[in-house]
Amino acid sequence: MQISFQARKTEKIFNSARKLKKEYGVDRAKKIKLRMAVLRSAVNLAEVPEQKPDRRHRLKGDRKNQFAVDLVHPYRLIFKPIHPLPMLEGGKIDLSKITEIVILGVEDYHGD
């Protein structure tokens, strides 16, 4: 899957092991690296597991059309498709057509 970043600062942090540990701590940095490896190796979003430990899931409300994967609870790696969501009949998303995403950041959105 092709991955870009919404913010240049986030991209710089994610591309440096030292900066990643400094910004997020050792445990979260390790999980971020693991999740990014899964995202990079997937051909499309359908290949990112819905089960733990990755637990790819679609977000709701103000975060409609965004997705997340689990990090260290309660933090999530948030991203969205670059292009409009490809829809199937019946209103479901065709995850196999999502091949490009943009990383929005790492957050605990549960307090929103």
End-to-end CA distance of the chain: 29
pLDDT band at 112 (very low <50, low <70, confident <90, very high): low
User: Could you report the per-residue pLDDT of 22-42, keeping only the tens digit for each?
Assistant: 999 999 999 999 999 999 999
Model pTM score: 0.94
CATH code: domain of residue 44: 3.30.2310.20
- Structural domain span for residue 93: 2-107
Q: Which two tokens stand for residue 97?
A: 């057509």
CB 71 within 8 A of CB 77: yes
In a domain, 86, yes or no: yes
How many structural domains are present in the chain? 1
pLDDT at 110: 74
